[in-house]
Amino acid sequence: MRGFGVAVALLLCVVRRSLADVYMHAPRGSNDRNCERNVNRNNGNRLFDSQNNAKGGYACPRAVGTSAMHDEAGMFQRQQPKKMYYYEGTDLIVEWTNQHGCGGNAKAECNVVLQYMNECTGDPKLANGFPWTSGKGKDIVGQEFRSGVNIATPRDGIPTTDADAATDTIPDNLESAIPNTESTRRYGMHESYSSYQVCQRTARNKGLWSADQRVRRSDRRGTRQNPNGNRRGLECPEERDY
């Protein structure tokens, strides 16, 4: 049993389509949920722009019960919520529902793109050959984002209490990206803080189709579907939309 399955389960929830209304079922897609218990998700901007109905998605498998479930119910104060695991070398069946037509009809042609990653690329260890250097070219002693056994990305976000859903959007700062405190471990994170900095500082591709939209950003945060450059987690809108 390997950690690869964990990363796939986490990151496949960011599978999306430009026309939206795509719901992941296997592995389970979050649709921006974390540990809420209500019908509608709490925050549609938590990790990514799903452009989906707020009732879609799977919440974390947190315990709901009486004091007889004390150990299970209090688990979130000490560790990550339970995840699904997959055996290395086995076939992973991917299932989803797309609300709009997509098939053999020439008027319903589409492309379904699956994106996934794991911690080795999202938050690599120094020992894996990915050293980070300071502005003066000297190696930094330590990891840029991960903190001890706590992986920075991909991470779901750990509730601090049984009443906490941990659905706040991660702030756009380096301190929140590092899961070294109880408060920062509450934030979920897919793309790294560094990748979003690159997104903000890179000129957008003005050759991409923008229809009749007035894109008000000169960087990669501005797209046809996100003309004002609104932020959802640390996702780069140009990468998502095109």
Kindly provide the residue ranges of all beta strands, DSSP E only, lying in 90-238, ordered along the sequence: 95-98
179 and 170 in contact (C-beta within 8 Å)?
Answer: no
In the chain, the amino acid numbered 28 is: R
Confidence of residue 129 (pLDDT cuts 50, 70, 90): very low
Residues 44-75: tens digit of each pLDDT: 999 999 888 899 999 987 655 444 444 444 44
| Stronger pLDDT, 124 or 4, i.e. the higher one | 124
Per-residue pLDDT reduced to its tens digit, 75-125: 444 455 566 778 889 998 999 988 887 877 888 888 888 888 877 777 776
Write the pLDDT tens digit of every residue in 187-230. 999 998 988 999 999 999 999 999 999 999 999 999 999 999 99
Residue 168 amino acid letter: D
How many residues are recorded in the chain? 242
Torsion of CA 118, 173, 232, 200, to 10 degrees: -90
First to last CA, the chain: 35
pLDDT category at 134 given cuts 50, 70, 90 is: very low
**Could you give the CA distance from residue 163 to residue 143 in angstroms, rounded to a whole number?**
32
Query: How far is Cα 41 from Cα 154, in angstroms, rounded to an integer?
Result: 20
Six-digit token string for 42: 């709490």
